[in-house]
Amino acid sequence: MKNSDGVYTGIIDSLPKTKVYLNIDHLDTGIYQLLISHKHRIIKVVSFKKE
């Protein structure tokens, strides 16, 4: 719904707490690296290519 000052607000359902979603639709074409860290240490490195 739109407020009088042009700001849109709404309510969305909460996302599951055990999943992380990464939307790559707005990334440029190329090769990316995702670094997952825990307690200041990198525990997983995932590479992917957006065509």
* Predicted confidence (pLDDT) per residue in 10-51, tens digit: 888 887 788 888 888 989 999 999 999 999 999 999 999 999
Q: pLDDT at residue 5 above 90?
A: no
pTM higher than 0.75: no
Residue 6, pLDDT score: 76
Q: Are 24 and 30 in contact (CB under 8 A)?
A: no
Contact 11, 1 (CB under 8 A): no
The rounded distance, in Å, linking the Cα atoms of 2 and 33 is 38
- From 33, 28, 30, select the one nearest 44 (Cα to Cα): 33
DSSP string, 7-34: -B----PPPPTT------TTSPSEEEEE
Q: Could you tell me how far CA 17 lies from the centroid of its own chain?
A: 14
